[in-house]
């Protein structure tokens, strides 16, 4: 270990490591994936054994646990993460495994359950939109595009496109997006969600359905969110 003096401004401590130190640290995780089992957590050992078996053909994997049930999947061959993403969706014993690419700048507290990557099928996509950017534009109407699968990339089956999109918990899960085109008339692209995560309307997370929320009271009625209303004087 080495000593690097910090900077103290107004009694606050500031530490600014040079970019080469950060880049060296980031290199370790380049190509890694962040995983999360939606709705149910499994013992770490079970996840590790199952994924090692399931993804044997992609080479050696190291799994590192994070907070709140998230984990990082690091591959000996760093190009494998992207391939695994494209070959998704994946599950463990029927539990959906949400995956996203590790990115520089992510901090552990960013791993929230209020957004989740979901695979969607898009029907009626015009052939001129059958590019990575074209697909991204359509996906932007639904969430943040993450990747397309290999058959969409190769354009082998033009009857539908498969794309992985990060969806926010307040999404309306639209079934149609209108595509305005410079040539030809507007087109309705139809969306099919191959899997819809359990959503809790009380906690605003993709994790458990509202009906099994711990914040529900015994009678099954939901506890009202913390919005204080003036008490009804007639009751008092």
Q: Of 26-34, 55-63, 167-175, 199-207, which segment contacts Zn ion by CB under 5 A?
A: 199-207
Q: Give the count of beta carbons closer than 10 Å to the beta carbon of residue 215.
A: 12
Closest to Zn ion by CB, 148 or 200: 200
Closest to Zn ion by CB, 185 or 219: 219
Query: Cβ of residue 171: shortest distance to Zn ion, in angstroms?
Result: 17
Query: Cβ of residue 208: shortest distance to Zn ion, in angstroms?
Result: 6
114 is written with which tokens? 């209020």
Q: Of 107-115, 160-168, 182-190, 207-215, which segment contacts Zn ion by CB under 5 A?
A: 207-215
DSSP letter at 123 equals: E
Closest to Zn ion by CB, 92 or 202: 202
Q: Of 28-36, 62-70, 103-111, 203-211, which segment contacts Zn ion by CB under 5 A?
A: 203-211
DSSP letter at 23 equals: H
- The span from the CA of 147 to the CA of 140, in Å, is 12
Closest to Zn ion by CB, 2 or 214: 214
User: Contact at 8 Å (CB) between 188 and 178?
Assistant: yes
Considering the rule CB under 5 A, would residue 222 count as an interface residue with Zn ion?
Answer: no
Query: Cβ of residue 65: shortest distance to Zn ion, in angstroms?
Result: 23
In the set 202, 221, 231, 235, which binds Zn ion (CB under 5 A)? 202
Closest CA to 165 of 124, 118, 131: 118
Query: Cβ of residue 211: shortest distance to Zn ion, in angstroms?
Result: 10
Binding mask 147-186 for Zn ion (x = CB under 5 A): ----------------------------------------
Give the three-state DSSP class for 172. coil
DSSP letter at 222 equals: B
Closest CA to 115 of 195, 213, 34, 206: 206
- The span from the CA of 165 to the CA of 59, in Å, is 26
Considering the rule CB under 5 A, would residue 38 count as an interface residue with Zn ion?
Answer: no
Closest to Zn ion by CB, 142 or 205: 205
Considering the rule CB under 5 A, would residue 200 count as an interface residue with Zn ion?
Answer: yes
Rg (CA), the chain: 22
Q: Please report, for residues 35, 130, 131, 214, the alpha-carbon distance to residue 218 in angstroms, rounded to integers and kept in the order given.
A: 33, 51, 52, 9
Binding footprint of Zn ion on the chain (CB under 5 A): 200, 202-203, 213
């Amino acid at each position: 270990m080495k000593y690097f003096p910090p900077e103290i401004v107004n009694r606050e401590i500031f530490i600014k490591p040079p970019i080469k130190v950060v880049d060296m640290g980031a290199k370790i995780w380049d190509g890694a994936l962040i995983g999360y089992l939606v709705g149910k957590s499994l013992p770490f050992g079970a996840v590790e054994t199952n994924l090692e078996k399931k993804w044997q053909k992609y080479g050696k994997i190291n799994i590192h646990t994070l907070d709140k049930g998230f984990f990082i999947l690091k591959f000996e061959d760093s190009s494998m993460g992207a391939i695994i993403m494209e070959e998704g969706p994946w599950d463990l014993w029927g539990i959906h495994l949400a995956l996203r690419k590790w990115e520089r700048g992510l901090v552990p507290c960013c791993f929230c359950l209020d957004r989740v990557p979901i695979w969607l099928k898009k029907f009626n996509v015009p052939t001129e939109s059958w590019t990575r950017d074209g697909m991204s534009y359509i996906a932007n109407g639904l969430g943040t595009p993450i990747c397309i699968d290999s058959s969409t990339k190769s354009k082998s089956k033009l009857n539908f496109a498969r794309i992985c999109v990060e969806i926010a918990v307040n999404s309306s899960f639209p079934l149609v997006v209108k595509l305005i085109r410079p040539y030809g008339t507007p087109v309705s692209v139809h969306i099919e969600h191959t899997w819809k995560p359990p959503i809790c309307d009380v906690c605003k997370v993709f994790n458990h359905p509202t009906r099994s929320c711990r914040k529900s009271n015994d009678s099954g009625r939901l506890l009202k969110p913390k919005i204080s209303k003036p008490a009804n004087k007639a009751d008092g």
